[in-house]
Amino acid sequence: MMTIHETEAGAADVEEGLVRNDQAPNAYIVSGEWPSAELSPDAPIGAHVGQEIARRLKAAMETRELTHRGLAERSGLGWRTVGRVLLGDVYPDVATLARLEQALDIEIYPTRWHRQLQQGSSES
């Protein structure tokens, strides 16, 4: 997975599985274990979305009694890719999400997640 973005200077910048200048989703953990860990209050929305994707993916795999390799076979992805998404090491790209959703026949991407995060922060 490669993400291409422009730096502040305008030059193209490529980082494997990362978004802009954000760190990997799991880099924002303040306590607990991924994917149920508490994230830093300043964690970008992408880290929260990555965490929810990992939660949903993990739950679906447990329900179906699938291993990383089993899901990789079903989805046509590499088992390392599946593992990196589950561990929060990368932000999965759209093609990866589509393959995982198709393989598991569920929605993994948390639509309208930004609204839930906004509601949660306004209640604090």
Give the pLDDT of residue 6.
40
Instruction: Compute the distance between CA of residue 15 and CA of residue 20 in angstroms, rounded to an integer.
Output: 8
What's the domain range around 33? 2-122
- The residue ranking higher by pLDDT, 4 or 38, is 38
Tokens of 26: 């799991």
Domain containing residue 80: CATH number: 1.10.260.40
Q: Which helix (H) or strand (E) covers residue 19, if one does?
A: none
Q: Does residue 34 carry a pLDDT above 50? A: yes
Number of domains in the chain: 1
pLDDT (average), residues 51-75: 96
Look up the pTM and report it. Answer: 0.77
Q: Does residue 119 carry a pLDDT above 80? A: no
Give the pLDDT of residue 41.
92
Q: Does residue 49 carry a pLDDT above 90? A: yes
Q: Does residue 18 carry a pLDDT above 90? A: no
Q: Which helix (H) or strand (E) covers residue 101, if one does?
A: helix 94-104
Q: Name residue, tokens 């079903």.
A: 74
Q: What is the pLDDT of residues 74-100, one digit of tens each?
A: 999 999 999 999 999 999 999 999 999
Give the pLDDT of residue 19.
57
Omega into 41 within 30° of 0, i.e. cis? no
pLDDT interval class at 17 (50, 70, 90):
low
pLDDT (average), residues 63-76: 96
